[in-house]
Structure 1
């Protein structure tokens, strides 16, 4: 009895589940003088073994024996019929299947089920009673009592493990919320980085589902194979995707059930959760464990949902920060525009008038011509400054059209090795209505796309002007040109856009002579 109490006390010395299971087997062997002991943990189906912890067999013997048991024969019988079982010889039972090669011989056997809160957790297997003979009824009683205590210890270890998991998830959520990304940090990268450790995943992916729901684009990834899939579009299971997006609840599955088997190679269990920032489209957080690793715990399912709530908040805060920075930028632009208008232009204008007054002091033709040239340059400088003022003036609530034009030109020529020349003139930001602006931006993108991808040009000029109640876009390149330009579908679309707004498209191109595109539409 003293040994039994010592064994029970030993189970309470550590709250790590793996340590508790190891001590259960060691204590059982000591308690009944068994040479070999093992604890088999029941799998999710309840009829097979997912883990097998042994005592008495060293690493070399394990290697010679090969794979661990999975629940066949007498070992599986205790899962199907969870009652204590004593045998001698072990091979005499009808369910005995024998031993694999290099397995040590075993005659006497004692098996006892372990229950946790009434459900079968696994079984204790003890063999080869030291000194020979069979395990006794007293041995069975002792091990049954130890198994009951083990059930309590395992439950406590599970609770501790769940608490530890929750703590890790909450810590990651708090750190994520506190680390508001700077300009150089994408919040999506922060999300996958912080999700990796608490989930125990080998791969964390931030994905955005396409409109048709059949493809998800991997926007950010962390962990193994992250570099292979980031910025890739992957077909996904509609069943899983719809369940997550419609219910908002995380879903557990296998990676092979989520994506194509080829894409799922090297991945095991998967957890898919939804992120729903206000004012944005829903996204997905996908966590995958390595093949053969334990599946996700129910706690992971609950905490992933909480983590995604914090992640969505982080995305909202990042968006808010960007908007605040944009407001500061707009205010600074207004100040610069005001200074340019009130100070610089007035000084240039005064300088031009003073220069004109010099004409009466000289009648030489060369001097008169020089005064005319300098005056013309001053007028040009004033015009360019006014254009700059127009592009700097901004509505505090949204990005102005001139800024969107600049961004469209930058994005449209990002793949080229040169920088295009851009000129914006007239009241672009104040006079161009939204409908015309959207068509204008689309034409800029399409026109630049053709110039960059098809013309082999090394110089492109883009000019946008709002004048005489019309907006005029001109795109010129020095590329190879082409015959029958409007036969191209993209360019035909530009003509259709002009006609829709009661405007015109003038397109001139010839092989070897570049291309000139002029798109003009009325503002009203």
Structure 2
């Protein structure tokens, strides 16, 4: 019996484990037949059976999906014969995570004898070992799916037309067995979060909706930075839960950027999330943050390639094409001395004027290319962070979220770069930090800059002149400026400014 139990539990494959269980139970009890009837799944009901004549287990599938159980009552584990036990049959429930995974049915004993107490004890032992082995197999299979998806996410960059958050929610659906996945981003005051990407059957219902964060589970998860499971109704209320059961919330925290929240919801009545799901969701979010960083880096590299191409074209036009056209014009004008024909002179003048017009248009094109290749705000910020930490041991990290280049006008961009320069400089010169995280986010009509370091911090209430200048810049733009620091805990600088032309007046509502 011990060897049979070890054999059942020696493989992490679910199919192999179930076949070994059926074979071992039949062999150990010398039963005429053994059947493991599994609960109905999306593929129908399945039965794994073995007989005395055909001891190798075989599987049959009922595609109609009819329950293979004779009745729907849950069965206890086998410990002793029941009141209706005739000695010719043993039936036991295979429990996984305290839920019935299938039923094992032994019928008849070879030679016609009845099953003994030892047989029933053996069945109880093997069913218990099978339950543990299948639970471990399910955990291993779930972990493998999570890890495979996480690795694929961190190595597969989305196309230019797709937001990386859309890729994240689509990938998260696969290993989590969720019917809805959403990424929500908090507002600047952390009072509510907007759904920026969603996938699943209910995606259209929740996209661009808002979720209250104040005194909520979602707000607690963002503050603690640890995954948590709750009821979907606890997030949005019973009226908006719409058949959803449990919800798993995991913080999505890209390095140097503002955190978001990944929400995974299962249908009501579905299996609950297990502790392993929380652990693997946290790993998945780490890879998702890496994917966001890679996408941002790819976009900056593409910009640099584009700028380099424009510079090269402008130089070629100026140094080669215009010079050749100018030389051709001089050569044509020199033909005047070889003829007195008035018609020829007019023709020479006309061709010269055409060449002059072509040169002017080419120069306009060159100026246009040079104007377009002026550094965008994201590139200026990247250069500022890099230059500010080049000669230091501190590791810089830059995170850019939202349409920073398109939405921030030059006037605010100049202030933003100046604030970033001062913030990075202060962190380098005064904090002794090993890492400096800089994030710039455009959201809800506001541009927000955060500079955070892990340096020595300070407790003095007297504000330095540099910080006073940053506060004045925020005031000039009707924005905000805040510095928080504790000795030994690092310093966090937050600077915001409203963007022109934004007439949105959203208030926090519930995700529905």
Give the alignment's TM-score, normalised by structure 1.
0.51
Which residue among 162, 179, 183 is the counterpart of 1:202?
179
Deviations 1:398-445 (A, max 9, x none): 4589xxxxx999889xxxxxxxxxxxxxxx99x99814999xxxxxxx
Cα–Cα, structure 1 residues 212 and 262, in superposed 2: closer, same or farther, change >3 Å? farther
The answer to whether the 8 Å contact 2:158/2:295 transfers is yes
The answer to whether the 8 Å contact 2:153/2:171 transfers is yes
Which residue among 179, 186, 189 is the counterpart of 2:166?
189
Counterpart position of 1:300: 277
Cα–Cα, structure 1 residues 161 and 344, in superposed 2: closer, same or farther, change >3 Å? same
CA–CA distance in structure 2, aligned partners of residues 308 and 497 of structure 1: 35
Counterpart position of 2:372: 392
Q: How far does residue 313 in structure 1 lie from its aligned partner after superposition?
A: 0.8
Deviations 1:286-334 (A, max 9, x none): 2122221111222211111111111111111111111111111111222
Q: How far does residue 125 in structure 1 lie from its aligned partner after superposition?
A: 10
The answer to whether the 8 Å contact 2:37/2:68 transfers is no
Q: Is residue 224 of structure 2 the alignment partner of residue 247 of structure 1?
A: yes
The answer to whether the 8 Å contact 2:310/2:370 transfers is no
The answer to whether the 8 Å contact 1:84/1:112 transfers is no
The answer to whether the 8 Å contact 2:7/2:20 transfers is no
Q: How far does residue 391 in structure 1 lie from its aligned partner after superposition?
A: 1.2
Aligned residues: 365
Counterpart position of 2:450: none
CA–CA distance in structure 2, aligned partners of residues 384 and 437 of structure 1: 30
Q: How far does residue 215 in structure 1 lie from its aligned partner after superposition?
A: 2.9
| 2:284 partner SS | helix
Deviations 1:459-501 (A, max 9, x none): xxxxxxxxxxxxxxxxxxxxxxxxxxxxxxxxxxxxx989xxx
The farther-off stretch of 192-201 and 323-332 is 192-201
Cα–Cα, structure 1 residues 378 and 62, in superposed 2: closer, same or farther, change >3 Å? closer
Q: Is residue 262 of structure 2 the alignment partner of residue 285 of structure 1?
A: yes
Q: How far does residue 151 in structure 1 lie from its aligned partner after superposition?
A: 1.8
| 2:254 partner SS | coil
CA–CA distance in structure 1, aligned partners of residues 189 and 416 of structure 2: 29
* Alignment gaps of 5+ in structure 1: 42-52, 91-105, 131-135, 402-406, 413-427, 439-445, 447-495, 499-524
* Alignment gaps of 5+ in structure 2: 40-46, 50-61, 109-113, 382-402, 419-444, 446-475, 479-512
Cα–Cα, structure 1 residues 408 and 283, in superposed 2: closer, same or farther, change >3 Å? closer
Cα–Cα, structure 1 residues 143 and 16, in superposed 2: closer, same or farther, change >3 Å? farther
Counterpart position of 2:248: 271
Cα–Cα, structure 1 residues 214 and 262, in superposed 2: closer, same or farther, change >3 Å? farther
The answer to whether the 8 Å contact 1:8/1:146 transfers is no
The answer to whether the 8 Å contact 1:112/1:123 transfers is no
Cα–Cα, structure 1 residues 123 and 287, in superposed 2: closer, same or farther, change >3 Å? closer
CA–CA distance in structure 2, aligned partners of residues 399 and 86 of structure 1: 77
Q: How far does residue 143 in structure 1 lie from its aligned partner after superposition?
A: 2.5
Counterpart position of 1:146: 123
CA–CA distance in structure 2, aligned partners of residues 378 and 400 of structure 1: 34
1:32-431 → structure 2 map (5 Å cutoff): 68-69=72-73, 88=83, 139=116, 142-235=119-212, 238-342=215-319, 381=361, 384-385=364-365, 387-395=367-375, 398=378
Counterpart position of 2:430: none
CA–CA distance in structure 1, aligned partners of residues 324 and 412 of structure 2: 30
Give the alignment's TM-score, normalised by structure 2.
0.52
Root-mean-square deviation (CA, aligned residues, Å) is 6.1
The answer to whether the 8 Å contact 1:173/1:310 transfers is yes
CA–CA distance in structure 1, aligned partners of residues 320 and 80 of structure 2: 99
| 2:238 partner SS | coil
Cα–Cα, structure 1 residues 113 and 433, in superposed 2: closer, same or farther, change >3 Å? closer
Whose Rg is larger?
Answer: 1
Cα–Cα, structure 1 residues 226 and 21, in superposed 2: closer, same or farther, change >3 Å? farther
CA–CA distance in structure 1, aligned partners of residues 296 and 83 of structure 2: 72
Counterpart position of 2:466: none
